[in-house]
Structure formats: C-alpha cells, structure tokens
C-alpha cells in the first residue's frame, strides 16, 4: 500500500494505491478517510504520479481525458454504480434516481446513494456529480461545500 498527499485548492487529499492501481482519493477528514489502509508507505508510484497529474489538470479547470489505472474495491453492486458514475460527463449531473433507473426500473435511489457514499476514489469517480431529485446538493463525504466547489469548477452551477 502506497500513499502520497496532494494539496488541492479545496484542501489536502490523501492518494492511495496498491500494486494493481489507485484505491483511494480522500479529502482530509473525509468520512472514510484512509480507513482500512494497512501499513502504508509514503512513496510516489507511477499511478500516484498519474493521479497527481490528473488532479493538476482537473483543478486548472480542464477536463482530464484519461484516468489513472484504478483498483475498485467494493461489492459488485457498488462497482456497478461507480462505473455508471464514470459515464456522467464533465460539467453534468445526474440524480440518484436516474442512476437507479439505469440499473433497474424498480431500483431504490437509496441503494444507489449508499453505493455512491462508499466511493473511495472521489473526484476521479465523480460522485460529486450526483444530486438529489430536487436538484439539491445532498450527500457528499467530502462535504457539501466541496461538492459545490467541484461543480462550480466544472461550471455546472453558478458562482
């Protein structure tokens, strides 16, 4: 397990990777911040370097085109939801209900909300682009203010 820190305009971010790929991107003090990291070694690996470059581009207001290699760790359902989040275009949003309907006509938005809330690779897997049915900025482990700032950066909401 390898870690690096990244100083973003929205606060310090912890990046974590294993031999397979990126496993975590957490804002400091985020709900699931570094939970489960076993004996991390602070070292820049190729995937952590790529992630920092991706974040530099992203925070400069540009849309990164290529994601670093990721190692998604979660249930099959969570992985399915996270892969759908990757399909939300830069600068766009979807509701939890929209995503639920993509999986099944009878899927509960709350089930999707739970999976979104367990996303360990924030920003790159854009859980900040998921909003409530009434267009509310609900549910972001990094904090609603950060969610709002990420969407402003992507020019989805007015400044």
What confidence tens digit (pLDDT) does each residue in 33-90 have? Answer: 555 667 788 999 999 999 999 999 999 989 999 999 999 999 999 999 999 999 999 9
**Does residue 32 carry a pLDDT above 70?**
no
* Percent of the residues in the chain that have a pLDDT greater than 70, as a whole number: 92
| Of 137 and 13, more confident | 13
**Does residue 144 carry a pLDDT above 60?**
yes
Q: How many residues does the chain have?
A: 159
Q: What is the pLDDT of residue 159?
A: 39
Of 99, 115, 127, 131, catalytic: 127
How do the domains of the chain map onto residue ranges?
2-59, 76-153
Q: What is the pLDDT of residue 29?
A: 74
Q: Name 49's Cβ contacts closer than 8 Å, sequence gap at least 6.
A: none
**Does residue 2 carry a pLDDT above 90?**
yes
Strand partners, 13: 6, 27
CATH 3.30.160 fits 2-59, yes or no: yes
Strand partners, 11: 8
* Look-up of token digits 């952590």: 48
Q: What is the pLDDT of residue 156?
A: 62
**Does residue 148 carry a pLDDT above 60?**
yes
> Can 139 be counted among the known catalytic residues?
no
CA distance 62 to 94: 20
Fold exhibited by the domain 76-153: Arc Repressor Mutant, subunit A (1.10.10)
């Amino acid at each position: 397990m390898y870690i690096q820190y990244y100083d973003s305009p929205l606060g310090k971010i912890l990046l974590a990777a294993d031999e397979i790929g990126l496993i975590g991107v957490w804002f400091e003090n985020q709900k699931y911040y570094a939970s489960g990291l076993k004996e991390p070694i602070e070292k820049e690996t190729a995937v952590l370097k790529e992630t920092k470059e991706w974040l530099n581009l992203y925070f400069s207001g540009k849309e990164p085109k290529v994601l670093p290699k990721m190692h998604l760790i979660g249930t099959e359902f969570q992985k399915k939801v996270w892969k759908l989040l990757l399909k939300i275009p830069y600068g766009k949003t979807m509701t939890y209900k929209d995503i639920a309907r993509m999986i099944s006509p009878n899927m509960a938005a709350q089930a999707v909300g739970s999976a979104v809330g367990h996303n360990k690779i924030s920003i790159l897997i854009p859980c900040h682009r998921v909003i409530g049915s009434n267009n509310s900025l609900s549910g972001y482990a990094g904090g609603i203010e950060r969610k709002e700032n990420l969407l402003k950066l992507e020019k989805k909401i007015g400044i």
